[in-house]
Amino acid sequence: MGLFSKTISCIGLDIGEHRMKLVKAQKAGTGYEITGYGVVPTPPGLMEGSMIIDEQGIIATLGKLVGKVQLNTPRVALAVSGENVIVRNLSVPAMPDRELAEAIRIEAEAQLPIPGKDVTIDFIKCGLTSDGTVKKQEILAVAVRNDIIKRMTRIAAAVGLEPVIIDVEPLVLQRALKILNPGIVPVDGSYAIVNIGKGSSSIAVFENDRLSFTRTLGFGGDKLSMALVNHYNMPLEEAEGTKKLIDFSGDSDQHGLTVLLYQKAEIILPVIGELVKELGRSLDYYLAQHRGQRFSKIFITGGSAQLKGLDTYMADELDLPVAVFNPTRHMQLSGKVQYLEKEIQEAGTALTQVAGLALSEVE
């Protein structure tokens, strides 16, 4: 099994530090529908960021998730992210496909910070360019450590699943956007997808619809909750609920209950400001390396992206158009999962990655 492998149909599975999510999807007329869904909390200590710490604990928890959902296929699509994946844009002389794979491996290995024998390398052809009289094949090469692939395969097999696709987070998020909301993604110029999770966030920049830059930020929704916990000495659950009521756009009327929420927003806003400043620095760094480019849009998704007014606040601070992407607004629910409608809608933007994985074979 290589990266980006193709099969007939598969389940999307996201093994996260705070939640494990499973989605099955299929085409429904001109759109798509969710036909299987399940989420379980990931117990503390099993993962640190994207790294698995306790393999047996992950297997036990994943077994509970798989047991919750009625599946008609063991085939599963998984994603790697953060420090587990290395992405490189390469340009090699145009050549027959039978020679291309070896040429890319040689070129990629020369740029990898770890020995080539320790990684699996796969690639996507991104079109031809011309350098004078020489035609060049533009390539997106992805390398994942072999031990990560073996571990993911081992974990899936332990609960009766068969990994047939191992993809990378930025491309999975892009797939969800492009399939579920055709035309929303600019074909020319640069745009970014910011995945704001519970423990961390990631930035993926696409130039002319091609992945060009990635970065992981040590910021997530947890920091917002902990700001309230530390300031008001409130329980974590209360802090989680409170931050969902605050409107970060600053447009709310300041009276009654709203005054109290506004006061709490003043505690959280400096923390959000940290994220926006770090995001702005990352975007500025990219533009400094790619002179002449500019960003046409920033898409935010992930569990913390649906905080009220966050898109407006970020747009004002970055002076760029910012849009929230919520996959559940673009997918129907089959009769099998209709009873979970409220839970699925509340999950919203947290399901973008797992939805992108579930859509791997139903384009």
CA distance 99 to 86: 22
Same fold, 11-83+146-184+326-358 and 221-322: yes
Assign 250 a pLDDT band (cuts: 50, 70, 90). low
Continuous H helices in the chain:
55-68, 97-111, 146-158, 169-180, 221-232, 236-245, 257-289, 310-318, 341-347, 352-358
User: What pTM did the predictor assign?
Assistant: 0.89
Report the topology of domain 85-144.
Dna Ligase; domain 1 (3.30.1490)
**Average pLDDT over every residue of 111-134:** 82
The full DSSP string for 164-210 is: EEEEEHHHHHHHHHHHHSTT-S-SSSEEEEEEE-SS-EEEEEEETTE
Report the topology of domain 221-322.
Nucleotidyltransferase; domain 5 (3.30.420)
At 79-101, the pLDDT tens digits run: 998 777 888 888 888 888 888 88
pLDDT value of position 350:
95
pLDDT above 60: residue 112: yes
Helix pair 221-232, 236-245: axis angle to 10 deg: 110
pLDDT above 60: residue 227: yes
Provide the residue ranges of all domains of the chain, joining segments of one domain with +.
11-83+146-184+326-358, 85-144, 221-322
Report the topology of domain 11-83+146-184+326-358.
Nucleotidyltransferase; domain 5 (3.30.420)
At 144-193, the pLDDT tens digits run: 899 999 999 999 999 999 999 999 999 999 999 999 998 888 877 889 99
CA distance 142 to 111: 12
% of the chain exceeding 70 in pLDDT: 94
pLDDT value of position 256:
46
